Amino acid sequence: MKYLKLKNYKQKENIYYLWNTEYGKIYPISKELFERNLLNASLEYSYVVTKDDYLIGFIICKVWNEDFYINTYDENCWISLFYVNKSNRGNGIGTKLLNLVELNLKRLSKKKLYIGKDYLNYFPGLPVDLKNSANWFERRGFVRTYDTYDLIKSNHLKKDDKLKLRNLDIEYRICSIDDKEQLIAFIQRNWPGRWEKEAIDYFENGGTGKEYVVGIINHTICAFAKIGLPTTDILLTSYSLTWRKRFVALGGIGPLGVDASYRNKHIGYDIVAYAHNVLIDNNVSDIIIDWTGLLDFYRQFGFEVFKSYFYMAKTILAEQIEETGYAQYKK
């Protein structure tokens, strides 16, 4: 077997081909999705393993190497995607891949390694579908903290499924390019960091504003939600559309939020309802709200759990790793 850094592996398309052989029906990764996710992957710290020139496993790791500041991102790192094919499991290959990554992270003085949650992520954690993997990670020092969910509203939504808004004093509308500066400033003021960076990237990648809806009071934004349309370019989507190949015409909602000074006025309800209605006007078959723990809040709109995930992370300790790339835990 041969272990290579991902940056030196030329046939990168084999990675999503291999993944899809086992998980293509529940977590299908397209060429476009893979290339988007790989945009900010750390090819220097990611690895593949081949046997007789055939790819049999890989680990894609991310470290934050952009100038934009997001709290704690400089000290953390993420496993974005990790796989060893069935016929080669139980032979220490996954452990070796993980140890190679951890060796690099120790050299970079990183503090925590997360499963999922990366920028341009596939998963917000470890899918519960892969619960045997949770046991594997726990034996290697990862700790499960709490759970998060993707929610779905299905059954080929129709115009009759549109929701009534509660606060009629607020104007709700779809954004245009003219809203760019005010929208980014609003998100930066209330949720600086990842959501702000996503909005900036959205417009830099050619977004026109139509994937954002806002609530307006006195010509000022008081709430926002990002939506994903079935026709939205992959570079403009949020996580909610990650698995859209599974659906006829998937729509997505999230992230979203209300300015703290305008809460308790039904605006949170209304921005979700308005986003929901815009998606129905765009003939979506299903709607996903991703990466949330607010089950009771979203159930009032007809959403139920679609996928569940474990938050899992490991503290990186310098004394755990030797130069061989294998972790040697103190007894």
Which domains, and CATH codes, for the chain?
Answer: 2-111+316-320 (3.40.630.30), 152-309 (3.40.630.30)
162 vs 145: CA distance, rounded Å: 37
Give the single-character DSSP code of 321: B
86 vs 29: CA distance, rounded Å: 18
Q: What is the signed CA dihedral for 177, 40, 224, 227, rounded to 10 degrees?
A: 80
Secondary structure of residue 252 in the 3-state scheme: strand
83 vs 280: CA distance, rounded Å: 37
The per-residue pLDDT for 329 is: 31
Structure tokens at 266: 């039904």
Structure tokens at 289: 């709200």
171 vs 221: CA distance, rounded Å: 10
Read off the pTM: 0.92
Residue 132, φ and ψ in degrees, nearest 5: -65, -30
227 vs 256: CA distance, rounded Å: 9
4 membership: H or E segment, kind and range: strand 2-5
80 vs 126: CA distance, rounded Å: 10
The per-residue pLDDT for 168 is: 87
Q: How many CA atoms lie within 13 A of 231 on its CB side?
A: 4
Secondary structure of residue 204 in the 3-state scheme: helix
- Listed as ranges, residues in the chain with pLDDT below 50 are 321-331
For the stretch 247-261, pLDDT in tens is: 999 999 999 999 999
AA identity, residue 141:
G
The per-residue pLDDT for 74 is: 95
> Which residues have C-beta within 8 Å of that of residue 277, sequence separation ≥ 6?
162, 163
331 vs 247: CA distance, rounded Å: 49
The per-residue pLDDT for 240 is: 92
The per-residue pLDDT for 216 is: 97
For the stretch 192-222, pLDDT in tens is: 999 999 999 999 999 999 999 999 999 999 9
The per-residue pLDDT for 318 is: 66
The per-residue pLDDT for 131 is: 75
- What per-residue string of b and e applies to 4-16 under the rule 16 or more CB within 10 Å gives b? eebeebeebeebb
Alpha helices in the chain (DSSP H): 13-23, 31-37, 93-107, 131-138, 180-190, 194-204, 267-281, 295-299
Neighbours of 33 (CB within 10 A): 20
The per-residue pLDDT for 320 is: 53
Q: Which is nearest to 150 in space by CA: 310, 308, 311?
A: 308
Sign, CA torsion 65/66/68/70: negative
